[in-house]
Chain A
Amino acid sequence: MHKILSQQTLAPGVKRYEVVAPEIAQRRKAGQFVILRVHEEGERIPITIADANPAKGSITLIVQEVGMTTRLMAEKEAGEFLPDVCGPLGDPTHIENFGHCVCLAGGVGVAEIYPVVQALKTAGNHVTAIIGARSRDLLILENEMRQAASQLIVTTDDGSYGIHGLVIKPLQEMMNRGEKIDRVFCIGPVPMMRAVAELTRPEKIPTIVSLNPVMVDGTGMCGGCRVTIGGKIKFACVDGPDFDAHEVDFDELVRRQQMYRSEEREALERYVKSLEEGRTEKKPCQIAEVAY
């Protein structure tokens, strides 16, 4: 049982949680994730570890409400518990002093790229971070990213803040200006990652993306998260989640991500309806017998 120490809304539908997980806090590296469940009959879902405090024994998870499980998690308050949190999973992001790194992220992807930006800067890179959201109120971690990166560029799709446009726009402009870019990291919705891959491909700029297929166990035992990279099958949970963007079969990733669309929709509708009809109370938290 993992206690939620704090819970905070960063943007509509996006919450930050600090969760007790001492071994994970000690061990985790940039790019790794946890698999968690929010109740005893719940599904297992992967969430990137955005930050950690080893001294305190806690990790930070930033979660966007997209379906029933993340919705149930959003209803959990500080002092409540998550029954299962497993990690750190995934192959850590490969960090070295590449030179000039550009890190792009959109929406909740900003939380995922944050530890990568920190690690790259610590390794001596000059890190240009480009973060974006549909509008100003959906932007998260601006201050944290400004601290972590060497330079921060902010974009919004609607122009309500920062540069008006998608995150790829500043990257395009940098490339047009002939700026030296040694490596690109990109985390966000698939169309964004795909677009960045296509932009950097002709210039052969090494580009790393973090893939988010559906997962079950997260330790490589089921193959549910399999993706095709350069024509070969890889498991995102153990060979990834980072992969060479120019080798990823994005079409297949998108198709496989949609496999449970109808069940996901059905589950969320059912849950919302049962709340409205007063049939379901918010699931009560369980008092932990073992408090870490």
Chain B
Amino acid sequence: MAKKVIPEKTPIPEQAPELRITNFNEVALGYSDDQAVFEASRCLQCKKPVCIAGCPVGIDIPRFVDMVAHGDFKRAVEIIREKNALPAVCGRVCPQESQCELVCVMGKKYQPLAIGRLERFVADFAREQSNGVPLFIPAKKTGKSVAVVGGGPAGLTVAGELARLGHRVTVFEALHKIGGVLVYGIPEFRLPKSILQAEVDKLAELGVEFRTNYVVGRTEMVDELLGRYDAVFIGTGAGLPYFMNVPGENLNGVYSANEFLTRLNLMRAYLFPRWNTPVKVGKRVAVIGGGNTAMDAVRTAKRMGAEHAYLIYRRSRNELPARLEEAHHAEQEGIEFRFLEAPVAVQGDAKGWVTGIELIKMQLGEPDDSGRRRPMPIENSNYVLDVDTVVVAIGQGPNPLIPQTTPGLKIGKHGVIMVDPETGATSKPGVFAGGDVATGGATVILAMGAGKKAAKAIHQYLGGEILL
């Protein structure tokens, strides 16, 4: 007898838009136990589940969901943790709509299972209950050591996996806090830093050593690390901001998204002056771009008091790369989307401050080599939008410091470190890489997936058995 499908996802309680634009608290408040059990019971427990393959780290979704449906949340935690060391992060920032939930069979006719919300529920349960329950029991010490360069999602995943296998791991991080894009890029209202800290503390409990304020490529070179460690993983991320190269881009009030978000998230400029780093957010803010970074920047600007927070994207709504839920929340919060428009120049006053941005309207032509329809300017459609702040969120590339200071490391187009996609192996023996430094700016979960692959390969390289 076929199980009856409950067509819609169980709604998740959220802060109302008018309230949440005045604070930096999370938008989604999380399921209650009952809501989680109810949602989990929607799962059809397919004989041949397709959702697992949709997850870049291969979480056994039907099994953990089954545990939730039966109220055995503790077991659900264990199942997720078999594959994912940072579930509280993923449950919040993964674009589930293009991964596990995209392929869920219920999604064909109805709404898919709310896998992301369930993962978050389980992870939050774990955090509230844990206190002393270790992440996992590590294997016997192997006597081998690995240097992980970069304390972001890729590096943290590699560190967790290798520590689990008994290797000694040190994570070297350039900034003064661990997390990479999780701490400097993603705002507090999407990923509370206390949650991130709890996940990092769990890794430290397992013996992972963290060295902050340590810039590999300046404080020490990769070749020197190879002398001290048996293998090196490079997960230095997309730490190079792209600028538009239009006139006026250096005016006061023009930020790269990296700087804007770093001041606000890592340095907590929204708590200035108690936190000493300031940021200038005016009343009329234009954010250029359409990805998650742009969405984070524009929603942050709104929370910082912008009366008009514009998102300027050169393609149309259909091509917007941002996570669906973020775009949806942004709309509710009153973000003003301006599609099919692109910047021509930033205008300023005599003192060097931004006063406006000249935009040109676009239309979509034939697909370019990315497969997306190419935006083309419409002649003489220029106009000036009055703004006092501009945030450039058109993409980030790999930080060039390590490529420039590591002889023998083969670098590809746009400065990415070239790797074997299955193992993360670079052209230098003993050196592996993954995440944005190897792909260009992408997502947290893809970085984690790359981290898992690399960890397996590193384990093998160190003489460990081949893992499935």
B180 to chain A, nearest CB (A): 10
Interface residues of A in 212-269 (CB under 8 A from B): 216-217, 219-224, 226, 228, 233, 238, 252, 255-256, 258-260, 263-264, 266-267
Asked if A47 is at the interface (CB within 8 A of a chain B CB), the reply is no
Q: Is the CB of B267 within 8 A of A216?
A: yes
Asked if A23 is at the interface (CB within 8 A of a chain B CB), the reply is yes
**Chain A residues engaging chain B, CB cutoff 8 angstroms:** 23-24, 27, 37, 41-44, 68-69, 83-89, 216-217, 219-224, 226, 228, 233, 238, 252, 255-256, 258-260, 263-264, 266-267, 270
- Neighbouring A residues of B243 by C-beta, 8 Å: 223, 226, 233
- Neighbouring A residues of B399 by C-beta, 8 Å: 219-221
- Mask of B155-194 contacts with A, CB within 8 angstroms, 1/0: 0000000000000000000111000000000000000000
Interchain residue pairs with CB less than 8 A apart (15): A23-B214, A24-B219, A43-B277, A83-B176, A84-B212, A84-B213, A86-B215, A88-B218, A216-B277, A217-B175, A220-B239, A220-B401, A238-B401, A263-B278, A270-B273
Q: Is the CB of B212 within 8 A of A87?
A: no
**Chain B residues engaging chain A, CB cutoff 8 angstroms:** 174-176, 212-215, 218-220, 239-241, 243, 245, 249-250, 252-253, 255-256, 258-259, 262-263, 267-268, 271-278, 280, 351-352, 399-401
Query: A87-B218, A221-B239, A233-B243 known; A216 and B273 CB under 8 Å?
Result: no
- Neighbouring A residues of B262 by C-beta, 8 Å: 216-217, 221-222
Given contacts A219-B399, A222-B241, 11 further A-B contacts (CB under 8 A): A27-B219, A42-B276, A86-B176, A216-B262, A217-B174, A220-B240, A221-B241, A222-B256, A260-B278, A264-B278, A270-B273
Interface centre among B220, B253, B258, B271, by most A CB within 10 Å?
B258
Q: How far is B215's CA from A238's CA once the two chains are assembled, in angstroms?
A: 12
Q: Is the CB of A41 within 8 A of B278?
A: no
Q: How far is B286's CA from A232's CA once the two chains are assembled, in angstroms?
A: 24
Q: Is the CB of B272 within 8 A of A263?
A: yes
Q: How far is B263's CA from A258's CA once the two chains are assembled, in angstroms?
A: 17
Query: A23-B220, A224-B259, A255-B252 known; A266 and B352 CB under 8 Å?
Result: no
- Neighbouring A residues of B239 by C-beta, 8 Å: 219-221
A58 to chain B, nearest CB (A): 15
Interface centre among A85, A226, A266, A267, by most B CB within 10 Å?
A226
Q: Is the CB of B219 within 8 A of A259?
A: no
Q: How far is B352's CA from A24's CA once the two chains are assembled, in angstroms?
A: 37
- Neighbouring B residues of A224 by C-beta, 8 Å: 255-256, 259
Q: Is the CB of B273 within 8 A of A266?
A: yes
B46 to chain A, nearest CB (A): 43
- Neighbouring A residues of B351 by C-beta, 8 Å: 255
Q: Is the CB of B215 within 8 A of A223?
A: no
Query: A41-B268, A43-B277 known; A216 and B259 CB under 8 Å?
Result: yes
Q: Is the CB of A87 within 8 A of B276?
A: no
Contacting residue for B276 out of A43, A222, A223, A252, CB 8 A: A43
Contacting residue for B250 out of A23, A89, A216, A233, CB 8 A: A233
Query: A238-B401, A255-B352 known; A267 and B220 CB under 8 Å?
Result: no
